Amino acid sequence: MTDKILIKLSDRITEAHTRIQKDFEQLNPVVGLSRGMRAQGIPADAITIDCLKSKKRIILILHDHQQEIVSYQRSFKDQDPSDKFEQVSYDELTAETLYCWIKDYFLES
């Protein structure tokens, strides 16, 4: 994974996160970056966006060999993710898209 792509995605997440905190005081998403997949021999990085109150989690996976695609899954912090991930184009994963995902999933009953 080139750091350039990871930095750009981090900037998008930061923008979405800032807007969420401003618009929804009850939400305070926690964003994390894990490079643990690399320790297992998988050339990819994982970013998690967690809602501590609901324990909901959005997982983003960036693979070194498919930098134009981001795999993602809506799951729960206290559960192992399933093997089924959806995919979105890196260019389509804008700050606005991330904002909508966080808002819609974390506020969903």
Its pTM stands at 0.93
DSSP state of 52: T
Q: Are 57 and 78 in contact (CB under 8 A)?
A: no
**For each of the chain's 109 residues, which pLDDT tens digit applies?**
568 899 999 999 999 999 999 999 889 999 999 989 999 999 999 999 999 999 999 999 999 999 999 999 999 999 999 999 999 999 999 999 999 999 999 999 7
Neighbours of 9 (CB within 10 A): 21
**Cα–Cα–Cα angle for 55, 58, 60, nearest 5°?**
150
